[in-house]
Amino acid sequence: MSFSSLSLSSELVQALPNEFNKPTDIQTLVIPELVAQKDILALANTGSGKTLAYALPILEQINNDPSQQALVLVPTRELATQVCKAIDQIAPSLGLRSVVLCGGVEKEQQLEVLTQHPNILIATTGRLLDLVKNKELNLDCVKTLILDEADRLLDMGFWPDVQNIVKNLTDKRQTAMFSATFSEELKQKASSLMDSPKQIFAHQENSTNKDIAETLYLVNKGSKTKALIELISQHQWSQVLVFIGAKENADGLTKKLNKAGLSTSALHGNKSQAEREEALAQFKSGQTQVLIATDLLARGIHIEQLPVVINFELPMHAETYVHRVGRTARAGQQGVAMSLVCHGEAEALAAIRNLTQRELPVQELEGFPVTDKPSTGESKRAPRDKKANRRTNSKKSIKQFQGKAKSSNTSTKKQSRS
């Protein structure tokens, strides 16, 4: 199938860069629906081409009616910049302009661009609301609303902002949401913002990319740093993206890896925008071998040919695991995802298994014998995960630590509780 068969004009198809010669699964399913002005809720694995799936219909519609604007909401500044770059590969050829509206950048610069009446607004919620409340931006011309990484935007931290933004939009708009994971609770929230949305599934819900080889090692909590250094040194990966939970722990781990002779930098929310951009740019260019990141970087960020992602710690929310490992094996490439798991993370692992409906067995890492005992303390996980994972409390050995895949006929019920 070609892009020209997806209800797109010849002018837009001709504006596509040469590398875009065949639409991906999600693009094939979504583009005709959006061009037909339908509301959609689209679920697809990370790295599957979601950005162009909504960007091309937006460009088609605005090219036909330049008085319209489109608004793309994203959870992070890095993703906003990335989406803008993807759109700007095509938009200028059509005489269309986009702008990024996010924090960490002087507002005056953005206000100057807004005077040029850009066609596509790509924004984080905080900066957008600031501009609207101060009457520096009017959203009356926005006819299309896109929520990228929608499960994060409809989560508790962003949900009030999204609701306030929607109040400033016309009811006669098209709304589309894209994500790799989506709980039943968030689907209900989404339906309140949409008009009879069509659900589109390009892949199994809450699944990881089939091109990712996942390996999980059970190690002592105190051995994780040495294990990480050993894995990186042994495999001699050119690039390694390491996910960690806390910002302060990211800085501490960065210092230890640099001391071990591994060129490492950290990226998290306490860094300035300039520092965040520099850390990501140096990693993408190969100047830095290892990037230690919090979940700020788990959402939507595309890094060309990233060979491996390592979970130094499992995430607090099972859905985040899917987004983290999705940073590798993008655009049909192969990738490796490794996780260093200690006994105290048994419930977190069980929640991930339950969400993805995958076995995800753990193994010992050679040279790092497990001597820690399973945790018996009160879990700090959210109540919604406890019920699904109570069985892990009695794990006593690596064999007992192994999980079993759930049968497919119970998948829907289990996922709705995860």
Pair (176, 85) in one structural domain: yes
**By three-state DSSP, how is residue 198 classified?**
strand
- Give which of 378, 385, 367, 338 is closest to 220, Cα–Cα: 367
pLDDT at 179 over 80: yes
Pair (253, 179) in one structural domain: no
Q: What pLDDT score was predicted for residue 98?
A: 96
- Give which of 7, 3, 66 is closest to 35, Cα–Cα: 7
How many Cβ atoms from other residues are within 10 Å of residue 129's Cβ?
18
Pair (179, 326) in one structural domain: no
pLDDT in tens, 293-323: 998 777 767 777 788 999 999 998 888 898 8
Q: What pLDDT score was predicted for residue 386?
A: 47
pLDDT at 404 over 60: no
Q: Give yes or no for a contact between 168 and 71, defined as CB atoms under 8 angstroms apart.
A: no
Burial class from Cβ neighbours inside 10 Å (0-12, 13-18, 19+) for residue 293 reads buried
pLDDT in tens, 324-354: 888 785 655 678 899 999 999 999 999 999 9
Q: What pLDDT score was predicted for residue 407?
A: 43
- Give which of 400, 403, 301 is closest to 351, Cα–Cα: 403
Q: What pLDDT score was predicted for residue 208?
A: 61
User: Quick one: average pLDDT of 276-287?
Assistant: 90
Pair (168, 224) in one structural domain: no
DSSP state of 221: G
Domain-located, residue 394: yes
Q: Give yes or no for a contact between 124 and 77, defined as CB atoms under 8 angstroms apart.
A: yes
User: Quick one: average pLDDT of 170-195?
Assistant: 88
- Give which of 396, 339, 394 is closest to 372, Cα–Cα: 396
Domain-located, residue 251: yes
Cα-Cα-Cα-Cα dihedral sign, residues 77, 78, 82, 83: negative
Name the more confident of 201 and 47: 201
Q: Per DSSP, which regions of 124-236 are E strands?
A: 142-148, 174-179, 198-201, 212-218
Pair (72, 141) in one structural domain: yes
Listed in sequence order, the residues at least 6 apart from 366 whose beta carbon sits closer than 8 Å to its beta carbon are: none
Pair (323, 342) in one structural domain: yes
- Token digits of residue 375: 């945790």
Pair (153, 251) in one structural domain: no
Name the more confident of 48 and 61: 61
- Tell me which residue has tokens 């409340």: 133
Q: In what order do the strands lie in the sheet with 362-364?
A: 264-267, 290-293, 240-243, 308-311, 335-341, 212-218, 362-364
Burial class from Cβ neighbours inside 10 Å (0-12, 13-18, 19+) for residue 394 reads exposed
Listed in sequence order, the residues at least 6 apart from 93 whose beta carbon sits closer than 8 Å to its beta carbon are: 15
Q: Per DSSP, which regions of 193-311 are E strands?
A: 198-201, 212-218, 240-243, 264-267, 290-293, 308-311
Q: Give yes or no for a contact between 221 and 342, defined as CB atoms under 8 angstroms apart.
A: yes
The letter for the amino acid at 306 is: L
Pair (195, 224) in one structural domain: no
**By three-state DSSP, how is residue 405 classified?**
coil
Q: How far apart are CA 216 and CA 349, in angstroms?
A: 10
- Point out the domain boundary residue: 201, 233, 256: 201
Q: What pLDDT score was predicted for residue 377?
A: 54
User: Quick one: average pLDDT of 257-273?
Assistant: 92
Pairing assessment for the beta strands 40-43 and 264-267 based on DSSP bridges: unpaired
Pair (195, 226) in one structural domain: no
Q: How many domains does the chain have?
A: 2
pLDDT in tens, 24-57: 889 999 999 999 999 999 987 666 788 999 999 9
Domain-located, residue 339: yes
Domain-located, residue 206: no
Q: In what order do the strands lie in the sheet with 174-179?
A: 98-101, 120-123, 69-73, 142-148, 174-179, 40-43, 198-201
Q: Which CATH number does the domain housing residue 33 bear?
A: 3.40.50.300
Q: Give yes or no for a contact between 15 and 56, defined as CB atoms under 8 angstroms apart.
A: no
- Point out the domain boundary residue: 146, 167, 201: 201
Domain hosting residue 251, numbered range: 212-417
Q: What pLDDT score was predicted for residue 392?
A: 45
User: Quick one: average pLDDT of 151-166?
Assistant: 89
Pair (197, 265) in one structural domain: no
Q: What pLDDT score was predicted for residue 327?
A: 78
Torsion angle defined by CA atoms of residues 176, 180, 183 and 185, in that order, rounded to the nearest 10 degrees? -30
- The pTM for the full model equals 0.70
Count the alpha carbons within 13 Å of 414 in the hemisphere toward its beta carbon: 21
Q: What pLDDT score was predicted for residue 408?
A: 41
pLDDT in tens, 102-144: 988 889 999 999 999 999 999 999 999 999 999 999 999 999 9
User: Quick one: average pLDDT of 5-20?
Assistant: 91
- Point out the domain boundary residue: 173, 201, 229: 201
Pair (293, 339) in one structural domain: yes
Domain-located, residue 135: yes
Name the more confident of 279 and 157: 279
Domain-located, residue 369: yes
How many Cβ atoms from other residues are within 10 Å of residue 106's Cβ?
8
211 pLDDT band, cuts 50/70/90, is: confident
Q: How far apart are CA 342 and CA 323, in angstroms?
A: 21
Q: How far apart are CA 7 and CA 203, in angstroms?
A: 23
Pair (155, 8) in one structural domain: yes
